[in-house]
Amino acid sequence: MAKKATKSFILRVAIEKWAADEFRSTNGQLQWIITEALRKARRLPKKKKSETDNEEENSDETQV
């Protein structure tokens, strides 16, 4: 059982270091890792039409 706890601890330390390097919290880093994996696997939920339209309108307003 100690071997599993050691692996978990090493993984946690590695993620904490990676998060610090990227100026994120540990939870934020985990969310980013999961989102990137889902994006690369093309498994992210598709955005609704209204959300896409709102984002385009907002980006146009900020560029002016």
Residues contacting 28, CB < 8 A, separation 6+: 19
Q: How many domains does the chain have?
A: 1
CB 19 within 8 Å of CB 25:
yes
Q: How confident is the model at residue 64 (pLDDT cuts 50, 70, 90)?
A: very low
Does 61 have pLDDT greater than 60? no
> Looking at residue 42, what is its pLDDT?
93
Enclosing domain of residue 38: 2-63
Residue type, 41: A
Instruction: Between 53 and 24, name the one with better pLDDT.
Output: 24
Residue type, 48: K
Does 9 have pLDDT greater than 60? yes
Per-residue pLDDT of 13-51, as tens digits, reads: 999 999 999 999 999 999 999 999 999 999 988 887 766
pTM for this model (two decimals) = 0.62
